[in-house]
């Protein structure tokens, strides 16, 4: 997708000194008062978080809700930094925000999902960041379009910034889902595959939208080898001025962090390596058989295509396809395989059957 070869600094080079532990950034959704920000910061310092976050300018879906204290909150950056000795991170959405955040000592900036979605906005900010040495975290766009996320990362990179990390905060969807923003973990995995050294931070607060699910989404991110987590915290979450449902107290955060299991990408235990290798050989054999069976199916489908062409019958057969789409997931369930996965797999197989049979019928037209 992207031709540009990008090289990013690892988190250990600029913020996370202990690479074995995930980076933790925490703090309130919004900086509500100076006292709230400083006291939250002091409570979080005890948990050894690496940076304090707080929104100064809040992009809210509807007007009339609290949109952040804006310029009035800028002097509090210095207060919380002095009280905690920790770096401070905030969201910026315009070149003016960047100028003000820098002037008042913000150490880390992030670009929100509603900005990542707009290349003009991102470019304006990239221009404002030229020649500035500050880490920038880039949240995924609200819609599930990987190219937009990559585009935003490239624009900031082209401004000369190398301390970059992606934040996965989930995607808006029209469908009713378990969480506030559907994670679509596959998109983040694809980003990581394209840019292996780009640090990625999970944002379970925005993914889940509810504090009871923060732990499970955090663990999932760590299991996928994320480099860190940004988790919203508040001294009195129920009375937070924004995003009350998804913020946790510093005490709850402490419990979540203690319960999280950090796993290594591999083990140097020889027994483990041997056993895993053994299982991978078995998987290789099964995959080969799976493909041979699939080739057999495609062969029959191709013959069926020729037969239909000879009898002038349409490629797509609604009744047969409905029968397959109903029965295969049922069979799968009996075999204890996820039926939704099997339904998706057969949709793909059917699409390929149609492509193949259409090609068979076109072949004849060319001959004729």
Q: Which is nearer to ligand ISJ, 316 or 331 (CB)?
A: 316
Q: Which of 301, 332, 342, 360 binds ligand ISJ (CB under 6 A)?
A: 301
CA 351 to chain CA mean position, Å: 28
Which of 275, 320, 326, 355 touches ligand ISJ (CB under 6 A)? Answer: 320
Nearer to ligand ISJ, 69 or 353 (CB): 353
| # residues contacting ligand ISJ (CB under 6 A) | 10
Determine which residue in the list 14, 66, 321, 325 makes contact with ligand ISJ, applying CB under 6 A: 321
Q: Which is nearer to ligand ISJ, 66 or 325 (CB)?
A: 325
Nearer to ligand ISJ by C-beta: 272 or 316?
316
For ligand ISJ, give the closer residue by CB, 71 or 300.
Answer: 300
Q: In the structure encoding, which two tokens stand for residue 188, read together?
A: 């983040």
Residue 229 in contact with residue 202, Cβ under 8 Å? Answer: yes
Residue nearest to ligand ISJ (CB): 353
38-43, Cβ contacts within 8 angstroms, sequence gap of 24 or more: 38/76, 38/79, 38/80, 38/83, 39/235, 40/233, 40/234, 40/235, 40/250, 41/80, 41/83, 41/84, 41/86, 42/83, 42/84, 43/233, 43/235, 43/250
DSSP of 19-68: TTSPEEEEE-SB---HHHHHHHHHHHHTTT-SEEE-BSS---SSTTS---
- Contact (CB, 8 A) for 170 and 183: yes
Shortest Cβ distance from residue 328 to ligand ISJ (Å)? 10
Q: How far is the CB of 316 from ligand ISJ (least distance, A)?
A: 4
**Quick one: 174 or 311, whose CB is closer to ligand ISJ?**
311
Measured from the CB atom, the residue of 14 and 321 that comes closer to ligand ISJ is 321
In the complex, least distance from residue 287 CB atom to ligand ISJ, rounded to whole angstroms: 21
Could you write out the DSSP letters of every residue in 290-308? Answer: HHHHHHHHHHHHHHHHHHH
Site for ligand ISJ in 323-342 (CB under 6 A): 324
Nearer to ligand ISJ by C-beta: 190 or 352? Answer: 352
Of 272, 307, 316, 331, the one binding ligand ISJ by CB under 6 A: 316
> Closest Cα partner for 140 from 171, 96, 100?
171
Q: Does 317 bind ligand ISJ (CB under 6 A)?
A: yes
User: Smallest gap, in angstroms, from Cβ of residue 321 to ligand ISJ?
Assistant: 4
Q: Which is nearer to ligand ISJ, 263 or 320 (CB)?
A: 320
Residue 45 touches ligand ISJ, criterion: CB under 6 A: no
Q: How far is the CB of 300 from ligand ISJ (least distance, A)?
A: 7
Our finding on whether 208 is near ligand ISJ (CB under 6 A) is no
Q: Does 304 bind ligand ISJ (CB under 6 A)?
A: yes
Question: What Cα–Cα distance (Å) separates residue 327 from each residue in 304, 315, 321?
Answer: 20, 21, 10
Q: Does 353 bind ligand ISJ (CB under 6 A)?
A: yes
DSSP 7-27: ----GGGTT-S-TTSPEEEEE
Cβ–Cβ contacts within 10 Å for residue 7, how many?
A: 9
| Residue with Cβ nearer ligand ISJ (2 or 327) | 327
* CA proximity to 15, closest of 63, 41, 50, 62: 50
Query: In the bound complex, what is the minimum distance in angstroms from residue 350's beta carbon to ligand ISJ?
Result: 5
230: closest CA among 210, 213, 212, 214?
214
Structure tokens at 314: 């349409």
**Cα dihedral sign for 300, 302, 304, 310?**
negative
Please state the closest distance from residue 302 (CB atom) to ligand ISJ, in A: 9
Specify which residues 228 forms β-bridges with.
Answer: 23, 201
Q: Shortest gap between Cβ of 140 and ligand ISJ (angstroms)?
A: 35
* Cβ–Cβ < 8 Å for 203, 167: yes
Residues of this chain that bind ligand ISJ (CB under 6 A): 301, 304, 316-317, 320-321, 324, 350, 353, 357
């Amino acid at each position: 997708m992207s031709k540009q070869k990008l090289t990013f600094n690892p988190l250990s080079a600029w913020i996370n000194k202990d690479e074995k532990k995930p980076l933790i950034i925490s703090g309130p959704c919004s900086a509500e008062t100076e006292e709230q920000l400083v006291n939250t910061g002091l409570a979080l310092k005890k948990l050894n978080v690496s940076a304090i976050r707080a929104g100064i300018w809040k992009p809210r879906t509807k007007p009339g809700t609290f949109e952040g204290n804006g310029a009035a909150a800028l002097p509090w950056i210095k207060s919380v930094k002095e009280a905690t000795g920790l770096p401070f991170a905030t969201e910026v959405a315009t070149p003016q925000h960047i100028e003000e955040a820098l002037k008042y000592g913000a150490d880390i900036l992030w670009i929100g999902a509603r900005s990542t979605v707009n290349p003009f906005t991102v470019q304006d900010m990239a221009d404002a960041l030229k020649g500035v040495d500050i880490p920038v975290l880039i949240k995924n766009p609200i819609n599930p379009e990987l190219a937009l996320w990559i585009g935003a990362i490239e624009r900031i990179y082209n401004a000369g910034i190398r301390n970059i990390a992606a934040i996965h905060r989930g995607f808006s969807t029209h469908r009713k889902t378990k969480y506030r923003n559907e994670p679509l973990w596959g998109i983040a995995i694809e980003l990581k595959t394209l840019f292996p050294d780009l640090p990625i931070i999970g944002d379970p607060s925005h993914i889940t939208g509810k504090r009871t699910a923060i732990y499970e989404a955090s663990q999932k991110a760590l299991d996928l080898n994320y480099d860190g987590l940004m988790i919203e915290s508040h001294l009195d979450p129920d009375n937070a001025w924004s995003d009350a449902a998804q913020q946790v107290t510093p005490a709850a955060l402490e419990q979540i962090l203690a319960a999280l299991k950090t796993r290594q990408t591999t083990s140097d235990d020889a027994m483990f390596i041997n056993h895993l290798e053994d299982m991978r050989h078995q998987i290789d054999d099964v995959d080969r058989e799976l493909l041979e069976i699939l080739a057999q199916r495609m062969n029959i489908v191709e013959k069926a295509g020729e037969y239909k062409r000879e009898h002038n019958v349409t490629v797509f057969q609604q009744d047969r396809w409905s029968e397959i789409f109903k029965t295969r997931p049922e069979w799968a369930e009996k075999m204890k395989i996820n039926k939704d996965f099997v339904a998706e797999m057969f949709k793909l197989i059917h699409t390929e059957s149609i492509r193949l049979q259409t090609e068979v019928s076109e072949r004849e037209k060319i001959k004729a």
